[in-house]
Amino acid sequence: AECDLTPTNTDKGWINSSVFIGMMFGGWIWGSIADKYGRRPTLMIAMLVNAVFGGLGAIVSSFHQFLALRIVSGLGVGGSMPIVFSYYCEFLPPSRRGPMMSLLAAFWMLGSVVVAVLAWTILG
């Protein structure tokens, strides 16, 4: 994005924050849909939204289009995360739920750090 869109430091902050803005609303929206229509179909659609709009973000040529697609992609991420956590929790015995849910969350954060380090290494 930096080569094609020439973002300012403020623009870079918006790019980084945009997925989290989408996630904030995605959990709320998809959670209600999952309650009404079931978790499995909702998870599939949320993951499709994430994939399609994330992929479209790779081919747009303007900053505002890219930002909008990142927000919509974040809606998909925000929908899939709570559903996956709920599924995972269902298969754990009650005595192990707390530690295992903490471990799942830790690995999600670790994955985010690994992605950032890889991007820094590749682009730097």
DSSP per-residue string spanning 9-77: HHHHHHHHHHHHHHHHHHHHHHHHHHHHH-HHHHHHHHHHHHHHHHHHTTT--SHHHHHHHHHHHHHHH
Question: pTM (2 decimals)?
Answer: 0.81
3-state SS class at 102: helix
Distance CA 88, CA 68 (A): 31
- 123 CB burial (10 A radius; 0-12, 13-18, 19+): exposed
Dig out the tokens for 110 from the structure: 């670790």
Distance CA 51, CA 77 (A): 9
Distance CA 57, CA 67 (A): 8
Model confidence at 2: pLDDT above 60: no
Percent of the chain at pLDDT > 90 equals 67
Tens of pLDDT, residue by residue over 45-78, are: 999 999 999 999 989 989 999 999 999 999 999 9
pLDDT band at 17 (very low <50, low <70, confident <90, very high): very high
